[in-house]
Amino acid sequence: MTIFALFLAAPATVAARTVAVTVDDLPFVGPSPRDKRTVVANMRKLVTQVRQVGAPVVGFVVGRRRGDYDALAMWRDAQLPFGNHTFSHRRYSKTPIDRFILDATKNEDIVRRRLGVELRGGWFRYPYLDHGHTAEKLAAMTAYLKKGRYRHAPVSLATRDYSFNAFYARTTDPAVRQRIAAWYVEHVIECTKHVESLSRTLYGREIPLVLLVHANPLNADHLRKVIDVLKSRGYTTVSLEVALADKAYTDFGLSPPYLPLIRDRNFLNQVAASRGMKVADPAGSDHFRETWRPKLERLAADRR
């Protein structure tokens, strides 16, 4: 058999789907009471879930709370990487640039002092994914990121995990919690289908995805289910470095100037907007308000 014949006989290869998992707002975010015991217990569960992802998961830390360092130390001790998400999670577009940079630097200082971890040289993610800017702010931010050897970490698979968590964290009823977790996973699937299809439209292929989830009770209990459902769609988990090495991201997104800021801040939505396309993202507030909120409210009311 010639080499050519061998080539013809090879089965058609399907491009492998890959996803990098990232967790924002470490150590803890949500409406639940955030006493030290709750935060530590939540982190213990979250680290267990994250360890089963099968690739390094970057945790974007917000260092503002004094009592939280024991929980953050658990992430560090599990050999999981940290990214800088600023000290107090201010909105970039609404904060004077010198204050914003001071806040990001304060996060580096406190994480270095309290955890012995260096954030510089790693990943930076804007709170609320808000990188709205003026030319002046952009110049200052570019200099800050360059000096700190940071790479910007965009998100291409965002969900409303925080809205589901708002209902989840309010109840301790196991049946209600299971129902909410199942709906959350359904919602992850609809968001994934949206970005897969958008990626094919924009790039003619599916680019590696960067999933954002929050450090909340819902993910501390159920992140594994989210990863399993992605794996069942053919995804392999990879590191953020590997996902963001794709040309789609290295062309835009890793350093300023970024894509134009729009309401639904997922990277692919921004690429679409930059090409004049309008997309309806199931992770957007309209879809949640129309589809999921009424179901979640009914569920909460039935149990009262």
Determine the size of the site formed for Zn ion (CB under 5 A). Answer: 3
Contact pick of 24, 68, 103, 206 for Zn ion (by CB under 5 A):
24
Nearer to Zn ion, 49 or 107 (CB): 107
Q: Which of 87, 137, 134 is nearest to 110 (CA)?
A: 87
25 near Zn ion, judged by CB under 5 A: yes
User: Of the two residues 25 and 264, which places its CB atom closer to Zn ion in the complex?
Assistant: 25
- Integer angstrom CA distances of residue 189 from 110, 158, 184, 196: 37, 11, 9, 10
Select 62 or 176, whichever has its Cβ closest to Zn ion: 62
Which amino acid type is present at position 40? V
Provide the minimum distance between the beta carbon of 88 and Zn ion in the complex, in angstroms, as a whole number.
11
List the x/- string, 111-130, binding to Zn ion by CB under 5 A. ----------------x---
Shortest Cβ 60–Zn ion spacing (Å) = 7
Q: Which is nearer to Zn ion, 63 or 127 (CB)?
A: 127
Q: Which is nearer to Zn ion, 59 or 282 (CB)?
A: 59
Q: Cβ of residue 259: shortest distance to Zn ion, in angstroms? A: 19
Determine the Cα–Cα distance for residues 274 and 258; give it in Å rounded to an integer: 11
CA–CA distance, 158 with 16 (Å, rounded to integer): 20
Comparing CB distances to Zn ion, the nearer of 56 and 127 is 127
Task: Give the shortest CB-173-to-Zn ion separation in angstroms.
Answer: 28
What single DSSP character describes residue 65?
A: -
- CA 137, CA 123: separation in Å to the nearest integer? 19
Count Cβ atoms within 10 A of the Cβ of residue 26 and give its class: 0-12 exposed, 13-18 middle, 19 or more buried.
Answer: buried
Q: Is 260 exposed, middle or buried (0-12, 13-18, 19+ CB in 10 A)?
A: exposed
Smallest separation (angstroms) from Zn ion to the CB of 182: 25
Give the binding range for Zn ion (CB under 5 A) out of 21-29, 180-188, 255-263, 279-287.
21-29
The nearer residue to Zn ion, 91 or 147, going by C-beta atoms, is 91
Cα–Cα distances (Å) from 54 to 49, 50, 73, 111, 115, in that order, read 10, 8, 21, 25, 24
| Contact letters for Zn ion, residues 158-197 (x by CB under 5 A) | ----------------------------------------
Binding segment for Zn ion (CB under 5 A), chosen from 17-25, 144-152, 184-192, 284-292, is: 17-25
Q: Which amino acid is at 46?
A: L
| Residue 241, SS3 per DSSP | helix
Query: 266 φ, ψ to 5°?
Result: -60, 140
Pattern of binders to Zn ion over 72-111, x per CB under 5 A? ----------------------------------------
In the complex, the residues that contact Zn ion under the rule CB under 5 A are 24-25, 127
